[in-house]
Structure formats: structure tokens, C-alpha cells
Amino acid sequence: MLMTRFESTILQVIPRLDSGGAERTCLEVASAVSRAGGRAIVATAGGRLASEIENAGGEIVLAPVDSKNPAVMMANGAKLTKLINDERIDLIHARSRAPAWSALRAARRTGIPFVTTYHGAYSGGGPVKRLYNSSMLRADRIIANSRFTADRILELNAGTKDRLRVIPRGVDTDLFDPQKVSDDRINHASAGWGLGENPGFKILLPARLTPWKGHETAIEAIHSLKQRSEHKDATGQDTGLTLVFCGGAQGRRDYERRLRAMIDERGVRAMVHMVGECADMPAAYAWADVVLAPSTRPEAFGRVVVEAGAMGKPVIATDHGGARETVIDGETGILVEPGNAEALGLAIDTLRAQPAEARMRIGEIARARASSVYSSAAMCDATLGVYRELLA
């Protein structure tokens, strides 16, 4: 909880407000600024979270800040300059590279502090890509959402060290609280998944359908478990195991079709269910016995791990990127080699073989750690601390 007043006007700039870690963090910080007595303005091209920001006391200014067109970016800089002057904004905070160029232009014209947040660890690339990325490095303070992200920033530009702050992504531990999710909510969330009456050991992979999130590795792991399972029915399916992919395709229909074809080819259609988006993610986590985060490339932070931990669930994640910070291997979950289906299957079997009480104890440790280290309240307090540092 915020303990001191904050009466400044903060402008956050983000391409869109649909879904994702950057968008949710923008909402949480806007809400924190408003609760502390400040004024929270968000410039964005729009999105479904815009109304939530307004409900939290923030204000939305619509602008094409999602554009990478240099002419539009320059025009956005002029619009943000006018907005800063008209609304007497004290600080501007950009959460992506394209709008960071516009925000930088406006900050330099008006003399107000400029903050950026790295929600991902951008690769270096060629000279043009490095120049494009450099908008994030030109801020008065640069926030990294994990130590992994911070290390990548320092690899690209060691000169940012004094301006760099590590503030881990937060999770709303009141929203993601197992004590607040009833059986009715769980049943309602899973009612349309087509799982049958006895799904057995329940596994959740919550992620949008994109190749690097590890869905194919998970299918291979389930196939390997089916091959050696002792819980088979007459058709050869493992009746003691159910895996749910919870996440939308977001336009990647070819990849969705590829996954469905792979599920059929491996003969695990009765065990693997693709259910699309879920409106009640705390209930989806509560349904599961274990949660997977098997990304094949390093994630800068990986909110699934912390959300699952907050819900008291063991996590199996890949041993790279932010997961090395958010998972304590053997205590709050299991880390496995990226892309290794055999290792993923073994980890699933290890947790399935444990008594429910043992998994519950793992979940309790994960919940305690999420609440103390990765809460949205701690993230917001630290972010407002950066603002105060610059505005002092």
C-alpha cells in the first residue's frame, strides 16, 4: 500500500492497451498514481484496458503512438509536447520503442523528466535496429523488469548503469488469491473446455498461441508420457492426465492449425485441449494441479510464473531468462532445459507422483514469495519512487 501522497501529473505512453505485461503494468501504475493523489494520463492508440484505466481514476488521450512511421512519430512528439504544456504534466514515461522517440522529443522540448521501461530484452541487431532501440536508452531513468533484462541492457550500453533501475513486474496478489476463488468460479471457467468428468492430473499452459511459448514441446511431452503411462484406456489414452492450452491465437491461425494437426498426429487429442482465451484467469489457475511456462526463448520476466505462484501452484518453467529469478528450482517449481520434451515430461511425472500435500506445500512457498517479492503494490511503490527521485 502506498504510504505517502504523490500529487504530480504523470503521462504514460504505450502503443496499445489490449493485453500483455506492459499494458497491465501501465494500468497498475496509473491506478497507483491516482490512489496516491496524483493525476494519471495515458496516451495510447486505444485497446480494451483503456476503460479499466479510466475506472481506476486515470485519463486516456487517444493518439497513433503505435505507429513506427517516422513522420507520424515526429507528429506524435508535437502532440505530446502540446499535451504536456496544456495539462501541466510533470513527468513522461514511455513503455515501448516507437512512442519513446515521440516522448523523448516532447520531454526535451518541455524540460520534464523522461522515464522508459524495458518490458522485453531487445536484441542488438544491425546499425538501424540499434538506432531504433536507442530511444529507450536516452531516458533520465531506465527501468528493467528483471535482472535478466538489466544485464542485456548493460551488454548493449554499459554507460546506462547509473540511470538503470531494476523493478520486477508485479502481480495483483488480491486478484490472484486462491482463497478468493470458489469452486463455482472454477467450474464456470472450465465448463466450456470439454474435459469430461474426470480429467485426472490437471496441467495448464496459459499463453497466447505463438511458436516460442513452448506449446509444441508440451505436446511432445504429453505424447512421451502417454507412451509409458500405466493409466491407459482401451484407446491408449492416458486417462490420468489433461493438458489445457489457455490463450488465443491473436491472428496466428496457421500456427493454431499446426498445433491441432500435431495433436492429432501424436494421438493425444483426448488429452490436450485448446480452449482459447479465459475471462477468469485466477479460476483457470485454481483448476490446475501444475502450471507450465515452457518458452523456447528467454522471457524478460514471464508473468505466468508469478501469477501461478500467487495462486499457490507449482510451476514447471524453462531454465533461462526471467524464470531463473522467479522460480526457485526444487522449492517453488522445477526448471527444465528449453525445448527438451523428455525433461518436461519427466518434471510433470515428478509432480504427478507427489502427494497432493507435497504439491500444496510447494504452492504455499510460491505464494509467499510472490506476495513478498513480486506484488503489484511493491512494483508500483518502486516505480513511484523513481518518479519522486526525478521530481525532487
Q: Do residues 164 and 145 lie in contact, with contact meaning Cβ atoms separated by under 8 Å? A: no
CATH architecture of 178-373: 3-Layer(aba) Sandwich (3.40)
Q: What pLDDT is stored for residue 196 in this prediction?
A: 78
Q: What pLDDT is stored for residue 62 in this prediction?
A: 97
Report pTM.
Answer: 0.84
Q: What pLDDT is stored for residue 228 in this prediction?
A: 78
Q: Do residues 11 and 63 lie in contact, with contact meaning Cβ atoms separated by under 8 Å? A: no
State whether the Cα torsion 150-153-158-164 is positive or negative. Answer: negative
Q: What pLDDT is stored for residue 122 in this prediction?
A: 75
Nearest CA among 326, 293, 299 for reference residue 310: 326
Q: What pLDDT is stored for residue 133 in this prediction?
A: 86
CB burial of residue 353 (10 Å; 0-12, 13-18, 19+): exposed
In the predicted model, residues of the chain with pLDDT beneath 70 are 1-3, 123-124, 229-239
Q: Provide CB contacts within 8 A for 107, sequence distance 6+.
A: 84, 92, 113, 114
CATH class belonging to 9-170+375-391: alpha beta
Q: What pLDDT is stored for residue 1 in this prediction?
A: 45
Rounded-to-integer distance, Cα 32 and Cα 5, Å: 11
Q: pLDDT digit string (tens) for 255-265?
A: 999 999 999 99
Rounded-to-integer distance, Cα 338 and Cα 127, Å: 30
Three-class secondary structure of residue 44 per DSSP: strand
Rounded-to-integer distance, Cα 55 and Cα 299, Å: 30
User: Which residue ranges does the chain devote to CATH 3.40.50.2000?
Assistant: 9-170+375-391, 178-373
CA-to-CA separations, 275 to 26, 97, 189, 304, in angstroms, rounded: 28, 33, 11, 17
Residue 149 neighbours by CB distance under 10 Å: 29
